[in-house]
Structure 1
Amino acid sequence: MDTVPGKTTENPENSHVSEQELRDAMVQCLIDMGALRTSRAVAAFRTIPRHLAAPGTDMAKAYDVESALITKTDPTGVDISSVSAPRIQALQIEQADIQHGMTVLEIGSGGVNAAYLGEMVGDRGRVVTVDIDPDVTARARDFLKTTGHRNVTVITGDGGSGALDFSPFDRIVVTVQAADIPSSWVHQLTEGGRLVVPLRMRGMTRSVAFVRDGQRLVSDGFELCGLVPMQGAGENRMRVVVLHDVEGEEIGLRLDDHPEPDAKTLAQALSMPRTAEWSGVTLAGDESNEHLDLWLTTALDNLPLMAAQPAARERGLVASASPLGVPTLVEGGSFAYRTVRRTDDPDRFELGAYGHGPEGQKVAERLVEEIRTWNREHRGDRAHIDVYPADTPDDQLPRNARVIDRPHSRTTITWP
């Protein structure tokens, strides 16, 4: 592929740092954190001038491994298009196991990821990238023209339909959050091919690597991630029920097919003194709770996510504040959410739950019970995720599975 000569960033703080030095530093960071592992992927990330996809963005930020480059928002201010952070792009590309000469479909364009894929499949391979937004595809075409990637075809259309005219695909990489798996993605994937998709399951998104096995998709690993939601026919956004609406310290529940809560009663519960229940289960300071949270949403029926502004935590309204949300068990007019507290060991934190409402203590105890179950029976385990066609009978699904029904698919979560 053709490349663009390196330049020097105009940021005064980095006035002597060239584009290539920024790319090399980004790549080394991705290698150190384990996001980049294969030589072909490393070479691609060293080559592509990703900063050109978002003109006006500080060049150093463009190569920050955790920074997404937002390229479009909707009228309400919600991000609807972005160039994903390098770490997310790297983990998805490694999950996809891209090989030279493959035919790859990308759902959700931005140009940069398609260029990475184009580098990896080489001149004998082909990349097709699809996006519903003509502004996005126009920017992608301009970027790919600049970088000289002639093996990438850009299509404006609903990614939920795939790209039948160019199928079958050895790999499909979805770069937008999806709540459902359209049958077109399965049918356009070769047998044994890999689909990598940020799949939202009961509010929790994981980038899952699936392998096609007939009409079923079988998971081959997943990673925690966050991406902008899909648009078009497959759009299925979560809904927020507000419990506290003071400007700057809003608190709400993010619903993903969860039962409709009594918002007024839960708002009243939030104003009541909270109770606490502690589990005796601890996490190291650098230990992720992603597998615990996936267990909780598997085991508990009504577990939306509570999102809160930092100011709400500073005022003591809640103990945890996360834009993505904290698992929160709702039972009637009471609720309890996962939290932690420091222990005598400065590197370990104890898991617990804070409860609000008339039955807050009882609900907190129920949440903590499942934290202990995870620690006793599943700590160290990873969930297994399969996707079946929507018309699959219950008796053909795995036993003891959490089943998530969508218009086109039935996703199952099971544990060893």
Structure 2
Amino acid sequence: MVQVVDAERTAEMRDVLVAELRTQGMIMSDAVEAAFRRVPREQFMPDDTDLAVVYGYDRSVVTKRDGHGRAMSSVSAAYIQARMLELADLRPGMTVLEVGSGGLNAAYLAEVVGSQGRVVSIDIDPEVIDRAASALDAIGHSSRVRVLVADAERGVPGEGPFDAIIVTVGAWDVAPAWLRQLRPDGVLVLPLIMNNVTRVIGFRRDGDHLVSTATEVAGFVPMQGDGSRTDQVLELPEPSGRKVRLTFDSDAPANMSQLDGVLATDQIEVWSGVTIEHGVSFADLHLWLAWYADGFCRLSADEGTALAAQKRWFPFAVVQEAGFAYLALRDALEGAGAEFGARAYGADGQVAAAAMVEQIRAWDREGHRTSPTFAYWPTGSDPARISADATVMDKTHGVLTISWPRE
């Protein structure tokens, strides 16, 4: 349904959003700026969405949930849409595939590649595709974007090759079909899940593998269909019956029964001595832990649990035998910053806390002041070419590597 809005007000809000995206470095090119100025974001949102949310810098909007309330489809925040468009290095006349539809991003793509370009937008959910097609038609873009119901893992028969592929759902791996349909010098931009931590990575093809050009922090709804990934979840009940959950996307401990009753034990705290000033991002610490901390997992807690009531903790943990520890902060630097540490439970809680603190200190020594680079080596590529200083993570269809440049 076409929303009836105050055109003058939305134009002003669009200008304010574009100015902020420029200031924050998310929009770098005139072509992406022009696309953001031309496309009315509100036409791709649910009718009751507040315009302050529609034109918010970092506000995503869920457009569909499953029977359990989990988000199945959403419109991404403006900052990450702009950043991904820039990472794709688009030019007029290009052919682009979007995996995960909704209509808005496809409209931006159509604006950037122009009338001589081609945009194909696919989604596994017919309802999502119908909504995207209607919104694109409402703003006059139906002839500029082809929307299809398809499982992205299988590619798009009869289409391609693509100069760029932009994936707008969380992907655990790179589908071989994407590489088959990507040009030899093409760009792949996707939110890649690495041991339950996601980064949007811009990859450029380099012979038989992909090399990252830049990354961005963002979260996305998970991929459905053949490319989906089933996590392993361990539920730890408190004496009250409320639960804490540990979620593993790979390499879950073989004997997790050792954690039975762990939340009934006394809590242990170990502090690292590593500090950070307020306002300084430490998102790469999460990434470091995901790659290097044995037993790494995501942590969540029901409302009303003792853990949920605690302040300044983060949803990342490590499991070591009969103990688990999670990332925490406490005041430091005379109130101008915080110190990283670990809180832990269980017979081996001290061991788990020490393992997490060891990796916090390693990040401070080796990764704190640099940004990592990634490479993806699909099955059949030459593993002998992987750099000796790279760390390898196994995926279904290949291996991913990470390297932290020395200062």
TM-score by shorter chain over 0.5: yes
2:343 counterpart of 1:351: no
2:69 counterpart of 1:77: yes
CA positional deviation for 1:131: 0.7
Structure 1 CA distance, aligned partners of 2:360 and 2:399?
26
Name the counterpart of 1:30.
21
1:374 to 363, 386, 406: 363
CA positional deviation for 1:261: 6.1
CA positional deviation for 1:401: 3.9
Asked whether the 8 Å contact 1:102–1:126 carries over to 2, the reply is yes
Name the counterpart of 2:293.
300
1:67 to 59, 71, 79: 59
**Paired residues, number:** 402
Deviates more, 1:92-101 or 1:106-115: 92-101
2:168 counterpart of 1:175: yes
Name the counterpart of 1:12.
none
Structure 2 CA distance, aligned partners of 1:390 and 1:77?
37
Name the counterpart of 1:101.
93
Asked whether the 8 Å contact 1:243–1:264 carries over to 2, the reply is no
Structure 2 CA distance, aligned partners of 1:313 and 1:275?
14
1:248 and 1:100, CA in 2 relative to 1: closer, same or farther beyond 3 A?
farther
Structure 2 CA distance, aligned partners of 1:28 and 1:237?
40
2:213 counterpart of 1:220: yes
1:296 and 1:42, CA in 2 relative to 1: closer, same or farther beyond 3 A?
same
1:71 counterpart SS class: strand
2:392 counterpart of 1:414: no
Question: Identity over aligned residues, as a percent?
Answer: 37
1:99 and 1:345, CA in 2 relative to 1: closer, same or farther beyond 3 A?
farther
2:195 counterpart of 1:195: no
Structure 2 CA distance, aligned partners of 1:135 and 1:248?
38
Deviates more, 1:243-252 or 1:40-49: 243-252
Asked whether the 8 Å contact 1:302–1:329 carries over to 2, the reply is yes
Q: Unmatched 5+ residue regions in structure 2? A: none
Name the counterpart of 1:124.
116
Structure 2 CA distance, aligned partners of 1:224 and 1:364?
26
Look up the equivalent residue of 2:92 and give its one-letter code: H
Asked whether the 8 Å contact 1:309–1:321 carries over to 2, the reply is no
CA positional deviation for 1:147: 1.3
Structure 2 CA distance, aligned partners of 1:314 and 1:361?
17
1:18 counterpart SS class: helix
Structure 1 CA distance, aligned partners of 2:240 and 2:163?
48
Look up the equivalent residue of 1:55 and give its one-letter code: D
1:286 counterpart SS class: coil
CA positional deviation for 1:400: 5.0
1:137 to 104, 129, 132: 129
2:153 counterpart of 1:155: no
Name the counterpart of 2:231.
238
Name the counterpart of 2:266.
273
2:252 counterpart of 1:259: yes
Asked whether the 8 Å contact 1:243–1:263 carries over to 2, the reply is no
1:106 counterpart SS class: strand
Name the counterpart of 2:42.
51
2:331 to 304, 329, 342: 342
2:18 counterpart SS class: helix
Look up the equivalent residue of 2:280 and give its one-letter code: E
2:16 counterpart SS class: helix
1:207 to 197, 200, 217: 200
Deviates more, 1:178-187 or 1:50-59: 50-59
Look up the equivalent residue of 2:19 and give its one-letter code: Q
CA positional deviation for 1:238: 2.8
Structure 2 CA distance, aligned partners of 1:38 and 1:246?
56
1:310 and 1:87, CA in 2 relative to 1: closer, same or farther beyond 3 A?
farther
2:158 counterpart SS class: helix
- Mapping of residues 376-391 of structure 1, within 5 Å: 376-391=365-380
Name the counterpart of 1:13.
none
Deviates more, 1:159-168 or 1:248-257: 248-257
> With structure 2 as the length reference, what TM-score do the two structures score?
0.91
2:166 counterpart SS class: strand
Look up the equivalent residue of 2:55 and give its one-letter code: Y
CA positional deviation for 1:143: 0.9
CA deviation digits over 1:181-235, x for unaligned, max 9?
0111112111121100000011110000001112211111111110001111111
Structure 1 CA distance, aligned partners of 2:280 and 2:260?
32
1:345 counterpart SS class: helix
Look up the equivalent residue of 1:253 and give its one-letter code: L
Structure 1 CA distance, aligned partners of 2:201 and 2:118?
23
1:60 and 1:315, CA in 2 relative to 1: closer, same or farther beyond 3 A?
closer
CA positional deviation for 1:343: 1.1
CA deviation digits over 1:269-321, x for unaligned, max 9?
223222222111111211222212222222223111112356446764x5555
Task: Report the RMSD for the aligned CA atoms in angstroms.
Answer: 2.4
> With structure 1 as the length reference, what TM-score do the two structures score?
0.89
Q: Unmatched 5+ residue regions in structure 1? A: 10-16
Structure 2 CA distance, aligned partners of 1:46 and 1:249?
48
2:284 to 285, 291, 301: 291
2:284 counterpart SS class: helix
CA positional deviation for 1:255: 0.9
Name the counterpart of 1:39.
30
Asked whether the 8 Å contact 1:282–1:348 carries over to 2, the reply is yes
Asked whether the 8 Å contact 1:71–1:83 carries over to 2, the reply is yes
Structure 2 CA distance, aligned partners of 1:245 and 1:231?
32
2:127 counterpart SS class: helix
